[in-house]
Amino acid sequence: MITRRNLMVGGAALAGAIAAGGRVRAASPADPLATLSDGHLELPASFLLSGLPDEDRQELGLPATGEGAVLTPPCNLTLYRSGERLVLFDAGSGPNFMPSAGRLPDSLDAAGIDPGAITDVIFTHAHPDHIWGVLDDFDEIAFPEAAFHICRIEWDFWRSEAALTGLPEERQNFVVGARSRFDAIEERTTLFDAGSEPVTGVEAMAAFGHTPGHCAFVLHGLDAPAMVVGDAISNDPVSFARPDLPWGADQDAEMGAATRRRLLDRLAADRLRFVGFHLPQGGLGRVETDGTAYRFVPGA
Q: C-alpha angle with apex 294: 290 to 297, nearest 5 degrees?
A: 100
Q: C-alpha 254: how far from its chain's center?
A: 20
Beta-carbon contacts of residue 235 (< 8 Å; ≥ 6 apart): 48, 73, 247, 278, 279
Q: Which of 69, 127, 146, 132 is CA-nearest to residue 104?
A: 132
Cβ atoms within 10 Å of 279's Cβ, excluding its own: 24
pLDDT along the chain (300 residues), means of 10: 28 32 44 93 90 86 80 96 95 97 95 95 98 97 98 98 90 96 98 98 98 98 95 96 94 97 98 98 96 92
Beta-carbon contacts of residue 153 (< 8 Å; ≥ 6 apart): 193, 208, 212, 213
Q: What is the pLDDT of residue 25?
A: 52
Beta-carbon contacts of residue 281 (< 8 Å; ≥ 6 apart): 25, 298, 299
Q: What is the pLDDT of residue 62?
A: 85
Q: Is 175 helix (H, G, I), strand (E, B) or coil?
A: helix
Q: CB–CB of 156/179 below 8 Å?
A: no
Q: What is the pLDDT of residue 1?
A: 26
Beta-carbon contacts of residue 249 (< 8 Å; ≥ 6 apart): 47, 48, 210, 231, 234
Beta-carbon contacts of residue 142 (< 8 Å; ≥ 6 apart): 91, 94, 105, 115, 133, 134, 135, 136
Give just the sign of the alpha carbon dihedral 77, 82, 86, 91. Answer: negative
Helical (H) or strand (E) element with 19: strand 18-19
Q: CB–CB of 109/4 below 8 Å?
A: yes
Q: What is the pLDDT of residue 54?
A: 85
Q: CB–CB of 104/40 below 8 Å?
A: no
What domains sit in the chain, N to C, each tagged with a CATH number?
4-298 (3.60.15.10)
Cβ atoms within 10 Å of 205's Cβ, excluding its own: 20
